[in-house]
Structure 1
Amino acid sequence: MASGSEAGGKPIGAALWRAALPAGLCFALLSQTALAAPSRLPSRPAQAPSFARACTIALPETPPLFAGKPAEPAASGEDEADDDSDSDDEEDDDDEDPPERGLVLPGSATCLSITGTVSAGIQRDSFRASRNGPPPPSSATSFPVSAAFRIATSHELASGLRVGTAFGFTMYGPVDGSSETSLDEATILVGPWTFGLDTSRFAFWTGDEFIFSARVPSRTVGLIALELPLTESWTATLAVEDPALGNASVTAPVQTGRRIPDTIGRLVYEQGGWTVHGAFALREIPGTPSRFGRAGILGATYEGEAFGKSWSLTAQLAGAIDGAPYLGSQLDARIVNRVLVASDATRGFSTVVSGRLEWTDELASNLYLSRYWLEVPLANQVRGEIRIDRLAANLVWTPVEGFKLGIENSIAWAKIALTGREIAAGLAGRQISTQLFIERSF
């Protein structure tokens, strides 16, 4: 996706955006390196050899803008009970979301963590063509393999400001004789600021509980984001994003002549078992005259327990006018990208409902149902339409931490009615996929 600066006018907004991202990255990296380096003294006595020690990655924290009143001291008889309950809550929190562990290397004050996930399996796909569509491909068996790696650092400067970095990529095994590598994350965090490549702040449900999310490149974008906690429960985020700088360019038609990046506003509520996410996106659509696309999303997750079993339920609804890249999952976006062009006017919505039930400490199942619908008014027909429905379920066995074995089955129905557009075989119609997979994390 070319920016507006490539056009004759060279708009100021595009130039500032293109300069701000690399400048911010370089400034933050040089600041961390310079301030973290030990001072050079004229002479120092020899020191005993140091060894690497364990640490945890601590992300930059910003105090809430509207802090609540401090709690009043409790009676002496209630202190011990409160302390016990607090400690139990902290242990539960640690179990649900353990910190990312790493090592402080000798001669350094930076905590370094390297993690990764390797996934392999066998997949069987069968197809049925839609009415008046191209003939479907033959049923096929494949052996998908992927490996994801992430390197994260955390360092506290002398001023008390914490700086964090993260770099992640995924390698996908041979598919149709070719391999693929995607850059999933390359960020620098300075206080409440984030610079680099990361998941769009618009996104909510990502399907991490399903194996397809490990086998399809994530929709990362280039961004500059400011995240501010409003209270202990509410967090606001403002970001400018450029899909052309990340993997999102794979799942969106290329648009040339854009002068300004996308603007994202987000509000997140987290309290108890609830997580509520609301966001709004505004994007420029080049043309004569140019126009602005917009998209909104509302999602919520609730986690609870019933009859001694943990469960969670997620629901999400997104709508967009000239904002198709913000709808649906990665799978939906890859299909839509192959039949749309950047100048198409669109309006539509996507929705998903997903649930998880942990039968035992080692056995869990996941289920999701989604719909993607897009209206595409074209000059040579009354209305074009794209509709994709998906249903997927899996059963995952985790005998030890970091090891998963499971089976997943999914079915998708796609209807693509765009007169005059070439529809590749396998895009429209029904597809049934069954996967046996094994996954190892470290």
Structure 2
Amino acid sequence: MLAVCQLPEDTDAYVRAPIFDGFHVRQLTANIAKPAQKADSDDDDDDDDDDDDDDDDKDEDSDPPVRNFVAAQTGSGLQRGPCYQVSATATYSVTLNDGTSTTGRASGRQNDRLLKEARATIGAQMIEDLSIGRFRAGFELNLSRSAGSDSGSLSSAWMSLGSITVGLKGSYFDFWAGDEFGFKATAPSASTFLYALALRTSENSTLILSGEDPIPRRMADAGYAGAVLPDLVARWKYDDDSTALHLGGALHQLRFASPNRTTRYGHAVVFGVQQQISSIGTGDYLTAQLAYSNTAPGYLGIAQPGGLLRFTLPRNAPMFIMETMRGWTAALSYSHGWSETWRSNAFATYVDLRLTEGPGRGKVQVGRTAINLVWTPVTGLDLTWELGATRIYRVDTLLGLAIFPTRPSYTGQFTVTRKF
């Protein structure tokens, strides 16, 4: 017989980390056979200050169960074995493009076109509390069909034990991904191989240190020597009932195949904040993000097709020029609830890149904005009407983009998404 999982919920989504309490490190524990109960506090060896610690333990151990997971149950009502969750998403979209290219791979005015795409994701997770810590594992597959071509990919496959996570999943550097918008549902997800250590620095904050594969951040198709070091990523995140803060940094090694396997190091930082504003509408919230990079432009979100900027630089441009760019991106998004079933979202992004190598030392400047209306007649079903615009203010000719449209390009999209 299946029943709701009775393991206590973790504050962090993927890992379970110790809490720093003054100079003491206390590891949270869980009861895997029955619902979480308050812990006993009769350890005769504890000093006077431990009474307060025991009270904290009671609050922590009485956390609600993990959500949307099920587990096998014995006849006496006790949980048996791990908890499982299976999820799936089906998406169908129709996009009307005015024909102006902003991909960096073509130029000038093209024919107006209507694009159709179907996409499905299938994923599963499991959780089990062992004597050495909480064990989690999960995977997700993406399948899509567009313009007569099929594609499939493994977007995540990871596992964690206690505070250690390894596998393929989204980078800990990234913050806002535009999940409120229809184009996100049809954009390929960016993931990387990583291994990470998580520490909980307070009741509401975590610090994650991660080594990540640098290849997904590459801007060009050729010209690289083999990577020696992973990208070193650190992320501090704070979450409470109304506010989320995200501070991330990355150190990136860049090795050129020629001349003589030259090595350079770049870095990137990102700060993001999300604030609920319930006084204006139903579940309203504001999201802002600012990122800067030097010799690590892949961390600005312009290396992934279908990203927030809807602009991808040509990967056949000179690798040395592409990878040594310096610049910043900014994003601002607002979500407003009209009612329990109707919601609108709007965002604007801007990128400013400087070419630090080559003659002329030019620029790349691109802006994008979009607004949508989402109807959710039943839980898990979203119908999204979306309008977007992209404006390329400047693109340097060193990148091979001499004939690039300077006027805005416009896109309209209708998306149906069903989550199971």
When normalised by structure 2's length, the TM-score is 0.78
Give 1:349 shift: 0.4
Residue equivalent to 1:62? 17
Residue equivalent to 1:280? 249
Give 1:347 shift: 0.3
Q: Deviations over 1:340-390 (max 9, x none)?
A: 4432221000000001011111111110000011112342x3123222210
Residue 111 (str. 1) matches residue 83 (str. 2): yes
Does structure 2 conserve the Cα–Cα contact (< 8 Å) formed by 1:220 and 1:243?
Answer: no
Q: Deviations over 1:118-149 (max 9, x none)?
A: 1112110013479xx93221110011211111
Residue 412 (str. 1) matches residue 355 (str. 2): no
Give 1:151 shift: 0.8
Q: Which amino acid is 1:233 matched to?
A: N
Give 1:279 shift: 0.9
Give 1:156 shift: 1.8
Residue 319 (str. 1) matches residue 301 (str. 2): no
User: How far apart, in 2, do the equivalents of 1:335 and 1:433 lie?
Assistant: 16
Q: Which amino acid is 1:431 matched to?
A: S
Residue equivalent to 1:355? 334
Does structure 2 conserve the Cα–Cα contact (< 8 Å) formed by 1:319 and 1:350?
Answer: yes
Residue equivalent to 1:270? 239
Question: Which range moves more in the overlay, 428-437 or 315-324?
Answer: 428-437
User: How far apart, in 1, do the equivalents of 2:267 and 2:217 lie?
Assistant: 18
User: How far apart, in 2, do the equivalents of 1:185 and 1:72 lie?
Assistant: 38
User: How far apart, in 1, do the equivalents of 2:114 and 2:213 lie?
Assistant: 37
Q: Which amino acid is 2:94 matched to?
A: I
Q: Which amino acid is 1:410 matched to?
A: G
Residue 291 (str. 1) matches residue 264 (str. 2): yes
Does structure 2 conserve the Cα–Cα contact (< 8 Å) formed by 1:350 and 1:371?
Answer: yes
User: How far apart, in 2, do the equivalents of 1:424 and 1:52 lie?
Assistant: 62
User: How far apart, in 1, do the equivalents of 2:317 and 2:246 lie?
Assistant: 29
**Equivalent pairs, count:** 366
Give 1:102 shift: 3.0
Residue 150 (str. 1) matches residue 119 (str. 2): no
Q: Which amino acid is 1:102 matched to?
A: V
Residue equivalent to 2:201? 230
The secondary structure found in structure 2 opposite 1:439 is strand
User: How far apart, in 2, do the equivalents of 1:425 and 1:121 lie?
Assistant: 30
User: How far apart, in 2, do the equivalents of 1:392 and 1:412 lie?
Assistant: 9
Q: Which amino acid is 1:55 matched to?
A: C
Residue equivalent to 1:38? none
Going by fraction, where is helix more abundant, 1 or 2? 1
Alignment equivalent of 1:208, drawn from 153, 164, 179: 179
Does structure 2 conserve the Cα–Cα contact (< 8 Å) formed by 1:253 and 1:341?
Answer: no
User: How far apart, in 2, do the equivalents of 1:368 and 1:426 lie?
Assistant: 24
The secondary structure found in structure 1 opposite 2:400 is coil
Alignment equivalent of 2:348, drawn from 365, 369, 373: 369
Query: Where do 5+ consecutive residues of structure 1 fail to align?
Result: 1-50, 75-85
Question: Which range moves more in the overlay, 56-65 or 255-264?
Answer: 56-65
Residue equivalent to 2:375? 397
Q: Which amino acid is 2:136 matched to?
A: G
User: How far apart, in 1, do the equivalents of 2:52 and 2:80 lie?
Assistant: 39
User: How far apart, in 2, do the equivalents of 1:105 and 1:150 lie?
Assistant: 23
Residue equivalent to 2:136? 164
User: How far apart, in 2, do the equivalents of 1:73 and 1:334 lie?
Assistant: 53
User: How far apart, in 2, do the equivalents of 1:73 and 1:224 lie?
Assistant: 33
User: How far apart, in 2, do the equivalents of 1:208 and 1:437 lie?
Assistant: 13
Alignment equivalent of 1:188, drawn from 137, 154, 159: 159
Give 1:276 shift: 0.7
Question: Which range moves more in the overlay, 323-332 or 336-345?
Answer: 336-345
Give 1:257 shift: 2.6
Gap change, CA 1:134 and 1:430, over 3 Å in 2? same
The secondary structure found in structure 2 opposite 1:259 is coil
User: How far apart, in 1, do the equivalents of 2:345 and 2:232 lie?
Assistant: 33
User: How far apart, in 2, do the equivalents of 1:253 and 1:427 lie?
Assistant: 24
When normalised by structure 1's length, the TM-score is 0.75
Alignment equivalent of 1:310, drawn from 255, 269, 283: 283
Give 1:319 shift: 0.4
Does structure 1 conserve the Cα–Cα contact (< 8 Å) formed by 2:173 and 2:248?
Answer: yes
Q: Deviations over 1:195-222 (max 9, x none)?
A: 0011111100111111111211122111
User: How far apart, in 2, do the equivalents of 1:172 and 1:423 lie?
Assistant: 30
Identity rate of aligned residues, in percent? 25
Residue equivalent to 1:328? 301
The secondary structure found in structure 2 opposite 1:110 is strand
Q: Which amino acid is 2:340 matched to?
A: D
User: How far apart, in 2, do the equivalents of 1:426 and 1:441 lie?
Assistant: 39
Q: Which amino acid is 1:370 matched to?
A: T
Question: Which range moves more in the overlay, 350-359 or 262-271?
Answer: 262-271
Residue 102 (str. 1) matches residue 70 (str. 2): yes
Question: Which range moves more in the overlay, 102-111 or 348-357?
Answer: 102-111
User: How far apart, in 2, do the equivalents of 1:232 and 1:375 lie?
Assistant: 41
Give 1:249 shift: 5.9
Q: Deviations over 1:206-243 (max 9, x none)?
A: 11111111211122111001111011122111000004
Does structure 2 conserve the Cα–Cα contact (< 8 Å) formed by 1:127 and 1:429?
Answer: no
Does structure 2 conserve the Cα–Cα contact (< 8 Å) formed by 1:316 and 1:352?
Answer: yes
Q: Deviations over 1:181-201 (max 9, x none)?
A: 232211101101110011111
Residue equivalent to 1:21? none
User: How far apart, in 2, do the equivalents of 1:71 and 1:307 lie?
Assistant: 39
Gap change, CA 1:72 and 1:64, over 3 Å in 2? closer
Q: Which amino acid is 1:393 matched to?
A: I
